Every structure is written in structure tokens, then in C-alpha cells.
């Protein structure tokens, strides 16, 4: 003899409720995760990804040549909010520029121009708001070109 099933029958309404709960949970998690992904990472945008992929090896070659120069940068923020950079190993006639990027993309990029100081360091003409910034530095001296990144806290 079979024992009777306690608790009732499994009906179509039960199956529907399970499907709705499952797919509702999956959909909610997807929406929440997509929202977090788009609100916390600004990303790097290129105008044409195909062209950027074709230029990638050239970028690597320029980065290697830049590294071979041996120039080293050290950036700090002054009390007035300007950026001071010491560029070790670079010749005296080097010109320095930078783009300050907020790592989470919450603030617009700021272009910085620098003037050489009497002690050989560089001081930005523009001020930089408080917070964490990534400086993309670009220095040129004659035909030599150097690029580097510094995190400014």
C-alpha cells in the first residue's frame, strides 16, 4: 500500500509561482549589478575601437622607447591645490603637460600645464580639486618623448 501524500498537490499555480520567483530574482540581480557597473566605472572610451586595436602595437613600441629614456616622475599636491612634479633624469629643456583623470570618472578630466621652477621641478598653472587623481604625464625634450602615470592622493 502506498502512503498518502501529506500537504496537498503540486499544481500549475505552484509551478508558475516558482518560475516567477526564480526569473524575478535573476532579473533583479542583473539590473542591480548593471546599475553598479555603469555608475562606478567611467572606463576609457576610444572613438573607434577597430582603429585603436590597429594602433596598439605602435603604442607598445612608443611605451618601450619612453621606458628606455629612464625618466622618473614624482608628483605631489601643494597646499594651494597645484601639482608639483619632479622629473628625474630628464634634460633641462623638457616640457611637461598632464591630464588629470578621476579614477572613477565622477569628475571631468583636467588638462594641466606646467612651468619649470628654479629648483628644476615643475609646478602646474591650474589647481586640482581634492581627491584621488591619476595623472597621465607627457614630457618632451627635442625628439625624445616620455609618458608616465602617477597616482595623486
Per residue in 67-106, pLDDT tens? 899 999 999 999 999 999 999 999 989 999 999 998 776 7
Is residue 146 predicted with pLDDT exceeding 90? Answer: yes
How confident is residue 1, by pLDDT bands cut at 50, 70 and 90? low
The residue extents of the domains of the chain are: 10-40, 49-152
* Mean pLDDT computed over 103-120: 88
DSSP line for the chain:
-PPPPSS----HHHHHHHHHHHHHHHHHHHHHHHHHHHHH------S-HHHHHHHHHHHHHHHHHHHHH--EEEEEE-TTSEEEEEEET--TT-EEEEEEE-TTS-S--EEEEEEE-TTS-EEEEEE--SS-EEEEEEEEETTEEEEEEEEE-
* Mean pLDDT computed over 32-36: 92
Provide the CATH topology of domain 49-152.
Immunoglobulin-like (2.60.40)
Identify the pLDDT of residue 149: 92
Amino acid at each position: 500500500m502506498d502512503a498518502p501524500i501529506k500537504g496537498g498537490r503540486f499544481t500549475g499555480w505552484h509551478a508558475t509561482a516558482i518560475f516567477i520567483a526564480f526569473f524575478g530574482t535573476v532579473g533583479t540581480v542583473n539590473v542591480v549589478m548593471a546599475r553598479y557597473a555603469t555608475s562606478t566605472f567611467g572606463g576609457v572610451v576610444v572613438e573607434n575601437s577597430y582603429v585603436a586595436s590597429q594602433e596598439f602595437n605602435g603604442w607598445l613600441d612608443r611605451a618601450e622607447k619612453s621606458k628606455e629614456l629612464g625618466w622618473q616622475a614624482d608628483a605631489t599636491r601643494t597646499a594651494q591645490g597645484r601639482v608639483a612634479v619632479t622629473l628625474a633624469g630628464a634634460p633641462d629643456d623638457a616640457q611637461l603637460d598632464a591630464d588629470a583623470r578621476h579614477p572613477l570618472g565622477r569628475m571631468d578630466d583636467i588638462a594641466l600645464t606646467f612651468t619649470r621652477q628654479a629648483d628644476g621641478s615643475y609646478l602646474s598653472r591650474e589647481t586640482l580639486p581634492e581627491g584621488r587623481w591619476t595623472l597621465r604625464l607627457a614630457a618632451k625634450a627635442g625628439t625624445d618623448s616620455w609618458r608616465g602615470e602617477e597616482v595623486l592622493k
